[in-house]
Amino acid sequence: QFVFGSDYPFIQPKRCLDELQELGIGDEALQKVLVGNGTRLLGLS
């Protein structure tokens, strides 16, 4: 399971997002990496 971490300010957020999209993991998996997994992990849903 993955949770998004940007490494900001060393890497710009746009670059991180562009590289994630280039992985071709699909919209549902990308949504989980960017929002869903962290939300569930922290009990925010």
Q: Does 35 reside within a domain? A: yes
Q: What is the rounded distance in angstroms from the CA atom of residue 45 to the CA atom of residue 35?
A: 10
Q: Tell me, what's the pLDDT at 3?
A: 77
Is residue 21 within 8 A of residue 30, CB to CB? The reply is: yes
Evaluate whether residue 22 is within a structural domain: yes
Residue-range definition of the domain harbouring residue 8: 1-39
Q: Is 45 among the domain residues?
A: no
- Per-residue pLDDT tens over the stretch 20-43: 899 999 999 999 988 998 899 889
Counting the structural domains of the chain, the total is 1
Average of per-residue pLDDT across 11-23:
88
Residue 24 within a domain:
yes
Residue 9 counted as domain residue: yes
**What does the pLDDT read at residue 36?**
92
pLDDT of residue 4: 74
